[in-house]
Structures are given as C-alpha cells and as structure tokens.
Amino acid sequence: MKNGMLKLAGLDLELFEDGGGAPLLFLHSARGLQQDQAFVDRLAKTRRVIVPSHPGFGHSGLPDWLDTPDDIAHIYLELMDRLGLAKADLAGITIGGWIAAEMATKAPERFRKIALVAPVGVKTGPVDKLDIPDVFAVPQERIDRWLYLDPAKHVTDTSRLSDDELTVMVRNRETFAMLVWEPWMHNPKLKHRLQRIAAPTLFVRGESDEIVSADYTERYARLVPNARVETIANAAHAVQAEQPDALAAKVLGFLDA
C-alpha cells in the first residue's frame, strides 16, 4: 500500500492507495486504518482502494473549523474531484459509514453502490435513550468485549507500539470524541436527508454487535431507499478485524453483482 500527503481544503490529508480495478473510496473506522487493514487488503485484491485518514486521525491535519463528520464529507467530495473520480463505489465502517452517508446525501449521483458497516450517525430511537452506548463512560475491558468475541486475540499490546503508533492511537481517540460527543453519535439533520441516497446500499453488522444493535441498523436502513441489511456470523462490533474475509466477500459480492 502506497501512501502520501495531499494538501486539500487547507489541510494536509494522509492518503493511502492499494490494488487495481474499479475505484472504491474506503472510509475507516473510529480506531483508524490499523484496525481495518486486513479488510482493506482483501478489498485491494480486486479493487483500486483509496483510503484517506480522516482529519485528526493518523497523520492528517485537523483545522480549527472542522468539528463534525458532515464537515469531513465536504472534504472527501473535494478529494474525489482532485482524484478525478466522477463516480465511484463507497464503503465506510462506523464513523466512516456516517461520513459516507453524509456524502451520499450531498452528491447522490457520484456513487454507484454503497456499503455501510456498523454505521452510526442518525438518531432512530426514543429521545430519552441512547441508540449507541456511551463508549467513553465504561471501563476499557467492557469496550473490548463489545468490540470482539475473543478480546485476547485482538486487543493491542500497547507496550509493543512505537511512540508514533501510540501518538496516532491517542490522537484517533481524541478526535473521535470531539466529532461524536454532542449530539451523541448522530447528526440530527442526517435522517431527514437520507432519502436523497440514490445508490443501492448494503448495511452490514456483526451478528453479536452490542454497540450497533440489530434494531438500530434496521431502523437506519429503512431511512435509505433501496437498502438491505446483512449480518456476519462469529463477529461482534469490529467485524472487519474478526472476520475480514467474510466481510470482504459480502461487500465485494454486493459491489460486483
């Protein structure tokens, strides 16, 4: 995978690219590209996968005017202009799925098909109850159990990370909190724009995901025309880490159908 920095919209954007074939813009999860790398590698076997590090994640800059996923959506539409992508497939995981949904409501004609993996971004349930649990209010051990069926296989040993890797991990978490904190995990306007999405859309979640529930995903998908929901067995929230092969097969099967 080759990477570089691109000056875009007044910020330095870290950009990765791998593979060949039809273009696929991939928007990473809240934990950054490292969490999603195995899944991206599978996609790149048949696709030209373009992966920006979200502003404030990885080594991308974070301008002081940017504070919502909606802001990032505008930047990525400009990125498509810069790369000459008049139309492309789009995929995103968790907050990446949120950004993807925002993009697809703004320029529906630019996306052929869309895959959203455990996406957040809308409020679908009662006003007095969180749709997505507060991941900053519980111990890390519980979060690990929400992320993985077997945390021992996937939890990062931070003692083995370089100073740069530790800095990126902490920076990703800090930026994620800033983007989703208020209102919690959603844009109140997005649910009223989702009917603009024109591309066939696939929602995918891990069968045992306790962060993005089955009910939430179904309610979200009902707001999007021509959408369907599928699940991946033997996976919790971080389905891209636990079942990268199964998830890639599901997503590519949908995109290539």
- pLDDT reading at 1 higher than 90: no
What average pLDDT does the chain have?
Answer: 97
pLDDT of residue 156: 87
Q: Model confidence over 17-32: pLDDT tens digits?
A: 999 999 999 999 999 9
β-bridge partners, 111: 88
- pLDDT reading at 179 higher than 90: yes
Q: Model confidence over 151-178: pLDDT tens digits?
A: 999 988 888 999 999 999 999 999 999 9
Measured CA to CA, the distance from residue 54 to residue 50 in angstroms comes to: 12
Domain residue spans in the chain?
Answer: 2-256
In percent, the amount of the chain with pLDDT more than 70 equals: 100
- pLDDT reading at 87 higher than 90: yes
CATH of domain 2-256: 3.40.50.1820
β-bridge partners, 43: none
pLDDT of residue 34: 87
Confirm if 240 and 96 have CB atoms less than 8 A apart.
Answer: no
Measured CA to CA, the distance from residue 117 to residue 102 in angstroms comes to: 15
- pLDDT reading at 70 higher than 90: yes
Coil vs helix vs strand at 67: coil
- pLDDT reading at 61 higher than 90: yes
**pLDDT-based confidence at residue 35 (cuts at 50, 70, 90):** confident
Confirm if 113 and 48 have CB atoms less than 8 A apart.
Answer: no
Q: Which residues contact 187 (CB under 8 A, 6 or more apart)?
A: 68, 69, 70, 98, 102, 121, 122
For 38-47, 112-121, 160-169, 213-222, which range has the lowest pLDDT when averaged over its residues?
A: 160-169
pLDDT of residue 250: 98
Q: Model confidence over 227-244: pLDDT tens digits?
A: 999 999 999 999 999 999
Q: Note if the pTM is more than 0.85.
A: yes
